[in-house]
């Protein structure tokens, strides 16, 4: 039996995670965990990770070491019906299981108010058919989104706008209270537009087979939103072309390209490991 003095010598003390050396140790641990996840995923029948930026792990861990107090911003984008919302649902499950401090924000709330155009043309579909490019960067309040993300990243709570999904085209300013948590997930097609994409620490692109995306979209439009099939198909053709133009080019800039056909539960593992590390940092 060791004496108290001898036990004290044998004890391994927890590093000071607020010191640079402590954060370097955590960064090494994070790199190891990422590599373990990636290697495990490669062995699966349908891997979730289609591509990883070569410098992602080293760049991300360097950011952790150099600026530990800044909130972690994770951007999730992809073409319509690619599986972005499914990822966010998985995030919500993780939040419930591990009581993780995570904020989820949708860029769909930052659509411009087009109620005047809808009043003029009669309906959202007629506005679209008049030539209004619904998914273009100019159709979003990107200046407000950028300011909100800047505020969230330094720990400030915000009040985001709310775009009403009732066909009126109304955007209500300062309508949604959003708390700045340690991890902030931002989802939507506008996430990686030029005005905002540089703020994210992890950039995720979700890609899915086009035919599966079409089936998902048509099912939601007809069965859940009671749209007639002809109009739903017309809108699918619009968003398909818009996705090719505005969203798909970002794929080559993503840190992680995820397979929307796969089991997105692996994304929860990534998020859990990020939390495991960052939870040791100062608030």
How many C-beta atoms lie closer than 10 Å to residue 92's C-beta?
13
Round to whole Å and give the CA distance between 110 and 218.
Answer: 24
Q: What is the pLDDT of residue 229?
A: 81
Q: What is the pLDDT of residue 257?
A: 92
pLDDT in tens, 115-167: 999 999 998 889 988 999 999 999 999 999 999 999 999 999 999 999 998 88
What residue segments make up the domains of the chain, in order of their start?
20-106+181-278
- Site of tokens 């990107």: 142
| pTM of this structure | 0.83
Domain 20-106+181-278 classification at class level: alpha beta
**Cα–Cα distances in angstroms (integers) from residue 123 to residues 52, 80, 126, 131, 243, in the given order:** 42, 21, 5, 13, 22
Q: What is the pLDDT of residue 9?
A: 46
DSSP 175-206: EEEE---SEEEEESGGGGSTTTGGG-SEEEEE
Round to whole Å and give the CA distance between 164 and 133.
Answer: 18
Which secondary-structure segment (H or E) carries 269?
A: helix 265-278
> Residues of the chain whose pLDDT is less than 70?
1-18, 91-92, 94-96, 98, 223-226, 263-283
Q: What is the pLDDT of residue 69?
A: 78
């Amino acid at each position: 039996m060791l004496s108290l003095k001898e036990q004290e010598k044998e004890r391994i003390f927890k590093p000071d995670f607020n010191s640079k050396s402590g954060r370097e140790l955590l960064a090494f641990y994070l790199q190891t965990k990422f590599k373990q996840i990636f290697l495990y995923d490669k062995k699966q029948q349908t891997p979730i990770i289609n591509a990883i930026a070569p410098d992602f792990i080293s760049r991300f861990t360097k950011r952790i070491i150099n600026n530990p107090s800044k909130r972690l911003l994770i951007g999730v984008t992809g073409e319509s019906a690619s599986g972005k919302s499914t990822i966010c649902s998985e995030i919500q499950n993780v939040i419930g299981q591990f009581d993780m401090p995570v904020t989820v924000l949708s860029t769909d709330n930052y659509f411009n108010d087009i109620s005047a155009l809808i009043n003029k043309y009669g309906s959202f579909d007629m506005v679209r058919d008049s030539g209004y490019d619904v998914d273009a960067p100019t159709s979003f309040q990107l200046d407000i989104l950028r300011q909100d993300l800047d505020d969230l990243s330094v720990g400030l709570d915000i009040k985001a706008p709310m775009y009403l999904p009732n066909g009126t085209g109304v955007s209500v300013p300062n309508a949604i209270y959003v708390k700045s948590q340690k991890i902030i997930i931002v989802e939507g097609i506008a996430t990686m537009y030029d005005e905002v994409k540089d703020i994210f620490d992890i950039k995720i692109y979700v890609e899915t087979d086009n035919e599966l995306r079409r089936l998902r979209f048509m099912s939601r439009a007809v069965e859940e939103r009671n749209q007639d099939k002809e109009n739903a198909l017309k809108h699918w053709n619009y968003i398909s072309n818009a996705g090719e133009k505005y969203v798909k080019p970002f794929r080559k800039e993503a840190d992680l390209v995820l397979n929307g056909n796969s089991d997105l539960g692996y994304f929860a593992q990534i998020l859990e490991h990020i939390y495991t590390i960052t939870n040791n940092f100062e608030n």
